[in-house]
Structure 1
């Protein structure tokens, strides 16, 4: 008879509660919440405003100066099309999740970034909304910690969600810091 088979197991310390894995790819068992699809529309509006002047300038030069400058028009159209494609691919990949100990933000399709901000490190939570974001009913939640590199931001949240998240994060940050 094997003595290890009958020996009781001894716990060596407190067992940590199971927390979901924060992984670079895959969901890791977290409840990821996407940002508003209106963020893509707002970014398309900004792209259109920025692209109008170069496009009109290239068109004017092509019409009045030289036919060779139609290549400039084509170049501007290709660049605007590529940026629009990138916006359409990037925005759906921005998501966030709340765990018991931290807020996790992930961005990027090709170059993936995952930022975990522990609630106890939060100094303050900022909600920002410019004129275009207000027009689309969105806000950006920015997390500030003692180190500028360890903060994060979630763009394109519906305004109500952003305000509720700010309140929850402020409360969790205060309770986590109180335990220090």
Structure 2
């Protein structure tokens, strides 16, 4: 029975593990990233609506009109939530790892230890490049732990990449 009590003391409650009150201030992505997300959502909605319209014109099926309406409604709702979703994206450089968060309803926290980083990559899509933004991607040995920080300014992405490479090299040397 004593081992069970000691084991209970060592294991933190789930609420304590997920509550991060003292992690410091989160760095946010650029507010211009809302434009990138909005354009992507609208283009995707237009492609789906065009496909539904083609079904309606070619096959003269009535349900395609309802599908077009649903696509427009879902696209509009998604566009309305884009600013809040972008504000929920943040990251922190901590002592031993990079902490990343995203999500409104389903919040995701990812901690990437500096010593585990194998690749730090910068990508720029056409709209993001036009707005001066870039995405920073980290790859680790675990396939599921890749992290993408979107919507960084070009200068911030490059300086963060250089800093993370420096930290990763110093942590790997200590292994």
Answer yes or no: same fold by TM over 0.5.
yes
Q: Provide the C-alpha distance between the structure 1 equivalents of 2:140 and 2:50, rounded to a whole number of angstroms.
A: 44
Q: Is 1:42 aligned with 2:50?
A: no
TM-score where L is the length of structure 1: 0.76
Q: Is the 8 A contact 1:35 1:156 kept in 2?
A: yes
Matched residue count: 158
Q: 1:46 to 1:173 in 2, by over 3 A?
A: same
Deviations 1:134-158 (A, max 9, x none): 0111111111111112331101111
Instruction: Name the residue aligned to 2:76.
Output: 81
Q: Is the 8 A contact 1:143 1:153 kept in 2?
A: yes
| Structure 1 alignment gaps of length 5 or more | 1-21
- Coordinate RMSD, CA, aligned: 2.5
Q: SS at 1:96's partner residue? A: strand
Q: Provide the C-alpha distance between the structure 1 equivalents of 2:112 and 2:63, rounded to a whole number of angstroms.
A: 53
Return the offset for 1:52. Answer: 2.3
Q: Provide the C-alpha distance between the structure 2 equivalents of 1:58 and 1:124, rounded to a whole number of angstroms.
A: 41
TM-score where L is the length of structure 2: 0.78
Instruction: Name the residue aligned to 1:135.
Output: 130
Give the number of the structure whose alpha-carbon radius of gyration is greater.
1
Q: Is 1:29 aligned with 2:10?
A: no
Q: Is 1:111 aligned with 2:103?
A: no
